[in-house]
Structure 1
């Protein structure tokens, strides 16, 4: 039978890519109205947001229903699972595939025991922000920061780890990170490099900086680059040349952040005085 009033057209929309962020092997955004995954396993952890609809799946031969968009689904590596649409509306999902460098494989057992559906609003918010950062290749520092906080929250679920707020050493640590960011404004810096130089845990470092200066390190770095871009633009430089000169990935990366900061695109800002 063909598609008709009682048989809505099948929709399979998939957007998948491999981001340049250590610990994430793949990102998948998908919309299915009629699809069933066979039983399979992954070498990675599947961290899924259900944005719309409902999906029925089994993990380790136990069936589950995901119907609440406020929840997060975590499927561990090496454990058989499947998945299928429940009705004609299907479902929309966003998935990040995390390597065992982020979550060790030994936590697969606790993940199965605790269940794959996590009712954690804060975790969902963190994963959503991670997906937003992963959309733009030039925002790797932000994506690394977002991933660190996702990992922290997942380890709290799987191991019961408690977060230690920055102590008196936090201000000194924040000042050292600011100096490091200032020194690498145009050539860039990864979160991994910063933590290695400062011998600090990623989320502890970010919290210390945010408490000391009122914004996260990635936002501070972007602001510094915007300031440099303004000077070059007002000196007559073209946006296409300014972007790589101040550390942005390309002209569109510069335009997106510049417009968000100043309300006008770089080209318009550059010609406003003239």
Structure 2
């Protein structure tokens, strides 16, 4: 926000994540920008965090306001966009290729570009949070799988969903073994699904049922657990971060502190003390 009561300045952030199916992530704050009529070769999946937007898709105008709506614009279909109020708007967008949604669904998407779907909105928010982390690719891929599942259902496409049954425990155990074996290098959800012959979302549901947490959370916890051992063996935090699979020391610090309650340096420095001498009763 600029000073003297002026309107918020334009701010953007764009990057290409290491997640198959996502061509670009785009976050923006606009106050007076108007998009001309244009098309994309990708799907445009937007959530609005602040403000109002007016746009046209295939010559029909639409408006979106509030925190529950999701906008899905299909590839190859002309659309524009503009602010509605002087305060502008803040949005987060994913540009998705046909590995997430096939182009044959574009016709179904034209007539319903705005989806009032609280669950889809929440899943997209969680996906954006994962995409903002340099070591969140596995989590982002997992969250994208559930976003895709929800979008397919919204567009009336067949969706492969199963309630975990007897196969849940052995599938979950096999995935846990795979994650333990790939602690440093990690594994993609697509690779895990191919190796274990299971659909990605079903694999995640089985793992959560068996162990009470999603695979990405398990992997982070195991990395922190391994980091504890290496720190007590005398390795420096920067060495530990690389050894257990975190992007860098800053990401080790963040996850380690969240799990252990203190940063890794302080944890390592405590190794000389055998016990805390608490005051007597």
- Indicate which of 133, 140, 143 corresponds to 1:146: 143
Is residue 55–residue 82 contact of structure 2 (8 Å, CA) maintained in 1? yes
SS of the equivalent of 1:54 reads strand
**How many residues in Structure 1 have an aligned counterpart in Structure 2?**
270
Is residue 46–residue 75 contact of structure 1 (8 Å, CA) maintained in 2? yes
- Structure 1 residue aligned with 2:114: 117
- Structure 2 residue aligned with 1:186: 184
In the alignment, does 2:199 pair up with 1:201? yes
In the alignment, does 2:144 pair up with 1:131? no
In the alignment, does 2:155 pair up with 1:158? yes
- Structure 2 residue aligned with 1:104: 102
Q: How does 1:217-256 map to 2 (within 5 A)?
A: 217-256=215-254
Is residue 44–residue 76 contact of structure 1 (8 Å, CA) maintained in 2? yes
Is residue 7–residue 87 contact of structure 2 (8 Å, CA) maintained in 1? no
Distance in 1 (CA, whole Å) between partners of 2:251 and 2:9 is 31
- Structure 2 residue aligned with 1:216: 214
Distance in 2 (CA, whole Å) between partners of 1:227 and 1:220 is 10
Distance in 1 (CA, whole Å) between partners of 2:75 and 2:256 is 40
Deviations 1:195-218 (A, max 9, x none): 110111000000000000000011
- Structure 2 residue aligned with 1:23: 21
| Deviation at residue 187 of structure 1 after TM alignment | 2.1
SS of the equivalent of 1:164 reads coil
- Structure 2 residue aligned with 1:49: 47
Is residue 74–residue 106 contact of structure 2 (8 Å, CA) maintained in 1? yes
Coordinate RMSD, CA, aligned: 1.7
Distance in 2 (CA, whole Å) between partners of 1:205 and 1:25 is 25
Task: Give unpaired runs (5+ residues) of structure 1.
Answer: none
- Structure 2 residue aligned with 1:257: 255
State the TM-score, normalized to the length of structure 1: 0.95
State the TM-score, normalized to the length of structure 2: 0.93
Q: 1:10 to 1:140 in 2, by over 3 A?
A: closer
Task: Give unpaired runs (5+ residues) of structure 2.
Answer: 273-281
Distance in 1 (CA, whole Å) between partners of 2:157 and 2:7 is 45
- Structure 1 residue aligned with 2:278: none
Is residue 20–residue 137 contact of structure 1 (8 Å, CA) maintained in 2? no
Is residue 177–residue 209 contact of structure 1 (8 Å, CA) maintained in 2? yes
SS of the equivalent of 1:66 reads strand
Distance in 2 (CA, whole Å) between partners of 1:159 and 1:200 is 23
Distance in 1 (CA, whole Å) between partners of 2:217 and 2:19 is 18
Is residue 241–residue 247 contact of structure 2 (8 Å, CA) maintained in 1? yes
SS of the equivalent of 1:137 reads coil
Is residue 11–residue 34 contact of structure 1 (8 Å, CA) maintained in 2? no
Deviations 1:201-240 (A, max 9, x none): 0000000000000000111111111111000111111000
